[in-house]
Homo-oligomer: A and B are copies of this chain.
Amino acid sequence: MPDPIELRSDNAAGAAPELLAALAAAGQGSALAYGGDDDTAALQEAVREVFEHPDAQAFPVVSGTAANAVALSALCPPWGSIVCHETAHIYVNEAGAASMFGGGAVIRGLPGDDFKLHPTDVERHLDGVNWGDPHHSQPSVISLTCPSDMGTVYSPGEVSALTSVARGRGMRAHLDGARLANAVVANACNPADLTHGAGIEVFSLGAIKNGAVSTDAIVSFDPAVNDSITYRLKRAGHVASKMRFQSAQLVAYLTDGLWLRLAGRSNEAMAALAEGLREREVDLLAPVDANMAFARVGDDVADRLEDDGLLFYRMGGGVIRLVTSFQTTLADVGEVLRRVDSALTR
Contact = CB atoms under 8 A, between A and B. Distances in A.
Interface of A: 6, 8-9, 11-15, 20, 23-24, 26-34, 61-70, 77-79, 81, 92-97, 99-107, 134-138, 208-209, 213-214, 228, 230-242, 245-246, 311, 325, 327
Nearest to A229: B134
9 contacts: A8-B32, A12-B30, A15-B28, A77-B231, A95-B135, A97-B104, A97-B236, A99-B99, A236-B237
Contacts of A106: 96, 99, 106-107
A100 B97 CA distance: 13
B99 A104 contact: yes
A331 to B, nearest CB: 16
B97 A232 contact: no
Given A14-B29, A15-B245, A69-B237, 4 more contacts: A30-B325, A79-B96, A209-B241, A214-B245
Nearest to A99: B104
Contacts of A6: 30
A100 B79 CA distance: 9
Nearest to A209: B241
Contacts of A67: 237
Contact of A70 (B105, B135, B237): B237
B134 A231 contact: yes
Residue with the greatest number of chain B CB neighbours at <10 A, chosen from A8, A67, A137: A137
Contact of A241 (B63, B232, B237): B63
> Which of A106, A135, A325 has the most B CB atoms < 10 Å from its CB?
A135
B96 A137 contact: yes
Contacts of A311: 30
Nearest to A109: B108
